[in-house]
Each structure stands twice: as C-alpha cells, then as structure tokens.
Amino acid sequence: MSQNSLDDLRNADTPEPLPTDQKNRSSQQFCVEVVAIKGKTRRAITAFGQDIYAVTAPLVVETINRILSGKIKKIGVTTMGEAFDAADFLQSLDKDDIVISAITESELN
C-alpha cells in the first residue's frame, strides 16, 4: 500500500468510488500476495480482482455457510486454513470476483 492510498483513506474529502458495472463494483483493482516460509520451503499465492470490498461479502457468506452446514474441521480460535479445506474454499469463489493464481512452492538455499 502506498502513502497516497493511506492519505486518501484518511481524508474525509475523498469521494467514495463510483460503481462501474452491473455488480456495483468500483473500477479499483487489487492484488494480494501471500508468502509463507517454513524451514527451507517457500510457498506463495496471489489473488487479484476488481473492488476488494465487493469480494469481502462473498468470503463472509461462504464462511458462514460452511460453518452452519458443518463443513468445519476445527472450532475455537483458528485460521480459515485450519477451519476449512483451503483449496476447496478458494475454488468455491466466483472467478468473476477474484482470481487465485497457482500456488508456487520452492526450496530455499
């Protein structure tokens, strides 16, 4: 995230993004990269799409649906990766809302 973005978020005069499609999404694009290192193994995954706030609701709804239907592996304080089958969860998301790149794995020197 850049300083410009943070300044815009904190500025009360910054207008809300305008919807640009039938789903009322803004034209804003997002990209999130997660890198995890355990021992000498490095894994990375990237997600990108349009209007990250429009993606939040489907994530929450899918999470609640899985909890209520008993598709949960662990209860209590946990991560989503521990609670659900991660690959199945990501595949359930609408590809029009979010695109998940292939997971890469490499060995570190």
pTM of the full predicted structure?
0.66
The whole-chain average pLDDT of the chain stands at 89
Task: Cite the DSSP H helix spans in the chain.
Answer: 3-10, 52-68, 80-83, 86-91
The Cα–Cα gap between 92 and 109 comes to: 35
Give Cβ neighbours of residue 93 (< 8 Å, ≥ 6 apart).
Answer: 55, 58, 59, 62, 100
pLDDT digits (tens, 9 = 90+) for 43-77: 999 999 998 888 888 889 999 999 999 999 988 89
Residue 34, classed as helix, strand or coil, is strand
